[in-house]
Structure 1
Amino acid sequence: MDVRQPLPLLGGLSPAQFMRLHWHKKPLLVRQAIAGFTPPVGRSALLQMAGQEEVESRLIQQRDGRWLLRHGPLPRRSIPSLNTPQWTVLVQGVDLHNDAVHALLQRFAFVPQARLDDLMISYASDGGGVGPHFDSYDVFLLQAQGRRRWRIGRQKNPRLLPDLPVKILAQFEPEEEYLLEPGDMLYLPPGWAHDGVAEGECMTYSIGFRSPDSAGLAHEVLLRMADAAADETDAPLYRDPKQSAVATPGAIPAQLQDFARNAVQQILADPQALECALGEALTEPKPNVWFEPSQGPALMERVELDRRTRMMYDARHIFINGESWQAEGQDAQLMQRLADTRALSPQEVASASDQALELLAAWCDAGWAHARSAKAE
């Protein structure tokens, strides 16, 4: 992607301009971001998806002045009739289950894959919504069907209404109001409060981004670093030949504390260990994701990543689905190309070394990627 090229998706801004002027800074309303947009997943298919065990879904309803929340799977009989007002079905991670939705998500690949999370679809009956709230992450709200009225404002008071199953702001003060129609899109930075209410039957596609907190990310990285250290067979053992007899056996020896401190510092002192653990953590598939192994041999003239595969890289490593490989030279460039574009052309596959081809074949066998013939282009 040429990040200097203006995009209708961003209202004529280039990705470089959008990231500089709006990302994490201020909202952007784009009329007809996708002109003539036809949602790849309609109402019937979405509600059917909400009933599946492997799909994360929620039903939020306003009834008699109360907010009700039900987590999926949502059998069709549990969903109100289409004529009933003020209910919403939210289906998370639709990009994991539909190729066309996954392709739509890739339009936002001007943001690093390490930050791109998923595409959620919200279907609402007339008056439906989830109440005024704010998110801790960036979000693009693409109107897919019908109309939704958005009121937005900078968040001044984060206090929530008590004893509700959903997070609703106690004091919401909107500053702007927009009515979105199919193809329109609204970008909101983290912390901007918003309240979207359906005017008639309505469907909204939400492109969300991961914003890991420091404690959670540290936990994931340190856990992987500790696991890697535990696999070392030549790690030194604690020795205390000069340990004297003690009258207070419950006290931890200072020498043992120093041994533990040095062990941790030694692990943290290796920058590649941290980088490797971070890449593995960022590409770890979500808990409800699994891959289907290849059903048989295929002519590997072209390679495409499976829509559920997460693949990233740094200066020394290639990361895919929670695993890592060291890579350099032409093979590293090839794998980086695959991570960036999610596909390799016949010419690129032909240029791969035998070692790279073996790795690609293993990924195809595992279902992480798919081998295609050139005729399928």
Structure 2
Amino acid sequence: MPKRPLDHPAHAASARISSPLAPPSPDVPTPLLGNLTPAQFMRRYWQKKPLLIRQAIPNVAAPLSRDELFELADQDDVEARLITHFRNKWQLEHGPFAADELPALKQRAWTLLVQGVDLHDDRARALLERFRFVPDARLDDLMISYATDGGGVGPHFDSYDVFLLQVHGKRRWRISAQRDLSLRPGVPLKVLQNFEPEDEWVLEPGDMLYLPPHIAHDGVAEGECMTCSIGFRAPSSNELTAQFLYHLAERGENAAGGEHEGHAPQLYRDPQQPAVAHPAELPA
């Protein structure tokens, strides 16, 4: 799913969060990364290849209960989306959603996405703190996805790094490093037209999947489930140019390749980014 722009009000809100906890040590192995150190993870996997981690957080609990998530989705200052796939037709609606505006729990194949949960709940913020071995400048937010049986958002790719942590129920993930990123026409979501999965796993509570940008993936709930997505922005060259390199913009130089049929946009890349001890410091 597309992430919010860098100048979205929620990013300003994140600056008002109370002082963050100390970041994880770059050189201490952690179950969160399959007993790799953050430094090893960044060298071997960050922006390079996917990593499946069984029991990254044993005995994990969802930051919010289902009812708490539904209450959050009903607030005016919260970004929420409802995605349904009824009768083989994709539909997308934007919140807020009152409880009686959501489909019935027994209805299959619907998903509620709530962005920026870390801005509204200390438990979600505490979970996010576990991932501060990546510079804060790259951090976007923690999103929670609630889905009924068969729910998902279709096969798609993202333009950011993401850790997909299963916190309730089961979700089947299929992924592919395919180059064909063309999209189905006439669909309100960015659903891939020719998805060809290469790997497949069922994630249970505590399991986590890391995906770098542009790895095609499709997650489908097996029964009721909740997934936390910890996203790290990979801004396009256009975004960086518009916000930081105004002299290039004034000269009319566009360093980014735009998204077009079957091809991914050119993104800021940092495959050699080491784990950091001071995440608030801007990378060189």
SS in 2 for 1:114: helix
Structure 2: distance between partners of 1:19 and 1:191: 18
2:137/2:282 contact within 8 Å kept: no
Structure 1: distance between partners of 2:159 and 2:53: 22
Aligned-pair CA distance for 1:76: 1.2
| Aligned residue in 2 for 1:148 | 171
Structure 2: distance between partners of 1:13 and 1:81: 42
1:212 is aligned to 2:235 = yes
| CA offsets 1:243-279 (integer angstroms, 9 cap, x no match) | xxxxxxxxxxxxxxxxx99xxxxxxxxxxxxxxxxxx
Aligned-pair CA distance for 1:174: 0.4
Q: How many residues align?
A: 231
Report the structure number with the largest CA radius of gyration. 1
**Among the aligned pairs, what percent are the same residue?**
59
Q: Which residue among 67, 92, 101 is the counterpart of 2:90?
A: 67
* Counterparts of residues 1-377 of structure 1 (less than 5 Å): 1-222=24-245, 312-313=280-281
SS in 1 for 2:137: coil
| CA offsets 1:113-135 (integer angstroms, 9 cap, x no match) | 00011000000000000000001
SS in 1 for 2:124: helix
| CA offsets 1:177-196 (integer angstroms, 9 cap, x no match) | 00000000000111110000
Relative contact order, CA 8 A, sep 6+: which one is greater? Answer: 2
SS in 2 for 1:35: coil
Structure 2: distance between partners of 1:197 and 1:28: 19
Structure 2 unaligned spans of 5+? 1-23, 252-278
Pick the structure with more helix per residue.
1
| CA offsets 1:209-255 (integer angstroms, 9 cap, x no match) | 111112222211256x9xxxxxxxxxxxxxxxxxxxxxxxxxxxxxx
Tell me which stretches of 4 or more aligned residues in structure 1 moved more than 2 Å.
311-315
SS in 2 for 1:168: coil
2:135/2:281 contact within 8 Å kept: no
Structure 2: distance between partners of 1:4 and 1:222: 34
Structure 2: distance between partners of 1:62 and 1:2: 43
1:59/1:89 contact within 8 Å kept: yes
RMSD of aligned C-alpha atoms?
Answer: 1.7
Structure 1: distance between partners of 2:238 and 2:36: 35
State the TM-score, normalizing by the size of structure 2.
0.78
